Amino acid sequence: MLNNLEQQPADALLALIKLHNDDPRVDKIDLGVGVYRTGQGDTPVFGAIKAAEQRLVETQASKAYLGPEGDMGFVRALMPYIFGTDAPDMGGRIEGMQTPGGTGSLRLAFAMADRAGITRMWMGSPTWPNHPQICKDLGIGMETFSHATPEGTADMDGIRSAIASAQSGDAILLHGCCHNPTGIDYTNEQWDEIAGLLADSPGLPILDLAYQGLGHGMEQDAYGLRRVAAAAPEMLVAYSCDKNFGLYRDRTGALYAMTAEPGALAAVMSNGHALARANWSQPPDHGAAAARIVMEDEGLTVQWLDELDQMRTRMRQMRARLAAAGQVGGVDLTPLGGQNGLFSIIPFTPEQVQAMRDRHGIYFAGSGRINVAGLTSANIDNFIAAVAEVTG
């Protein structure tokens, strides 16, 4: 039986890590894999998380099962950050559960939508490749809309026409902030309009918030999501703590459902629990427990938010340097200054991507997506010079 299975293509980004590791050049640059890096090129554990882990080791009395919903203290502690402090559960209309990272949350959100009768998902193009991959795996149909204009701004006509076309049985997937792969987010005014359109749409909004705090700050990065929550009757939110707590491999995330009436919530969440049970049974505890300890402790919260500020400031500095370079060879780096988060796309041709690797030891995805956090004061001038040489 097993030889019925066909060879699957290797994940392109993981293959890129190997290519970079095998390159002997000392000045090579890795702009591929999506993790934050310091000015020294490291991805350290947050100090606040280290302190919380220490406390966890000393105080955790049991590792007995918690249930498919995971650590509900963690799930609830996140809610004011996501939905605001005024009405974090929208009067009993929002409930959540812990998931294995943002990917686990998306998987659960899409499977829940599928169970609810969603047969078609609208997603921007381009988007994070795992979005269509999960949809395909679940057999949910897909429609795309244009997310970005060639000038590097959000394509409002794209999202307007998607929402106008959405019918009952459709879901509309939106990135909450720090769009992957383009770094192009909707402005607050654009979110106001999108929320208004979603209020009158039969489409179910699914918000993917995987980088809160990495764009403009924890509050500002939740603006669009909160506008949609205030306007639309229902919503699913897939949340990841893997970037904003630096927990990547500890797989820390949550799924939230917002229903039109509080009374509908228990049945919705029971489907989430049943789906979790059939997939991973229970989410891994460690990262969520550490993040909860941080959020429950005032001092550790201040430390965490300060560490997050430093990350964001460093990425903004690198973006400002790129934008200041302006027109470089055949490409204009100016729009990267106004984009958000880890990623931006530079419109390289496939040959130019290859030339950046071969001639300069600079590695990034074939789509031209670069991880801005891979740039440092020590390598950014080399990067800009390489872009000029390859595209000029």
Ligand X SMILES: Cc1ncc(COP(=O)(O)O)c(C=O)c1O
Q: What is the largest CA-CA distance in the chain?
A: 62
Query: What is the residue whose two structure tokens read 């720090």?
Result: 178
**Residues 342 and 371: beta-carbon distance below 8 Å:** yes
According to CB under 6 A, which one of 70, 101, 215, 283 is a site residue for ligand X? 101
Nearer Cβ to ligand X, position 314 or 369? 369
CA–CA separation, 194 vs 203, rounded Å?
12
Question: 32, 102, 224, 361: which one contacts ligand X (CB under 6 A)?
Answer: 102
> What is the nearest approach in angstroms of ligand X to the Cβ of residue 249?
9
How big is the site for ligand X, counted in residues (CB under 6 A)? 12
Which of 239/363 has CB closer to ligand X? 239
Q: How far is the CB of 208 from ligand X (least distance, A)?
A: 5
Nearest-angstrom CA–CA distance, 68 and 267 = 15
Helical (H) or strand (E) element with 20: helix 12-22
Cis peptide leading into 181, omega within 30 of 0?
Answer: yes
Is there binding between residue 107 and ligand X (CB under 6 A)?
no
**DSSP structure string for 152-186:** SSB-HHHHHHHHHH--TTEEEEEE-SS-TTT----
Residues 322, 382 contacting (CB under 8 angstroms): no
Q: Which of 349, 354, 360 is nearest to 384 (CA)?
A: 360
Question: Where does this chain touch ligand X (CB under 6 A) — which range of 55-63, 101-109, 140-148, 266-274?
Answer: 101-109
Which lies closer to ligand X via its Cβ, residue 20 or residue 107?
Answer: 107
Cross-strand partners of 345 = 369
Contact partners, residue 354, CB within 8 Å, separation at least 6 = none
Residues 180-209 contacting ligand X, CB under 6 A: 180, 208
CB of 221 to ligand X, least distance (A): 13
Q: What CA–CA distance (Å, rounded) separates 284 from 100?
A: 6
* Of 70 and 253, CB closest to ligand X: 253
Q: Is 253 in the site for ligand X (CB under 6 A)?
A: yes
CB of 19 to ligand X, least distance (A): 20
Q: Looking at beta carbons only, is 108 or 325 nearer to ligand X?
A: 108
73-81, 99-107, 214-222, 357-365 -> range binding ligand X (CB under 6 A): 99-107
The minimum distance between CB 101 and ligand X, in angstroms, equals 3
First to last CA, the chain: 53
Contact string 34-73 vs ligand X (x = CB under 6 A): x---------------------------------------
Q: Is it true that the peptide bond before 233 is cis, omega within 30 degrees of 0?
A: no
Residue 33 CB, nearest distance to ligand X (Å)? 9
Please identify, among the stretches 73-81, 97-105, 199-207, 320-328, the one whose residues bind ligand X according to the rule CB under 6 A.
97-105
Report the C-alpha gap between 376 and 380 in whole angstroms.
6
Nearer to ligand X, 95 or 208 (CB): 208
Phi-psi region of 242 (alpha: psi -120 to 50; beta: other; left: phi over 0): alpha
Among 98, 182, 240, 367, the residue binding ligand X under the rule CB under 6 A is 240
- Min CB(251)–ligand X separation in Å: 7
How near is the Cβ of 130 to ligand X at its closest, in Å?
Answer: 7
| Window of 73-81, 96-104, 312-320, 344-352 that interacts with ligand X by CB under 6 A | 96-104
151-157: long-range contacts (C-beta < 8 A, 24 or more apart)? 151/335, 152/182, 152/184, 152/335, 152/336, 152/338, 152/339, 153/184, 153/335, 154/184, 154/185, 154/186, 154/187, 154/190, 156/186, 156/190, 156/193
Identify the residue among 46, 70, 96, 103 touching ligand X (CB under 6 A).
103
**CB closer to ligand X, 180 vs 212:** 180
Asked if 244 is part of the footprint of ligand X (rule: CB under 6 A), the reply reads: no
Q: Is 175 in the site for ligand X (CB under 6 A)?
A: yes
Q: Quick one: tokens of 95?
A: 């409930």
**Structural contact between residues 289 and 56, judged by C-beta atoms closer than 8 angstroms:** yes
The catalytic residue positions are 128, 208, 210, 243
**Per CB under 6 A, 210 contacts ligand X:** yes
Interacting residues toward ligand X by CB under 6 A: 34, 101-103, 128, 175, 180, 208, 210, 240, 242, 253
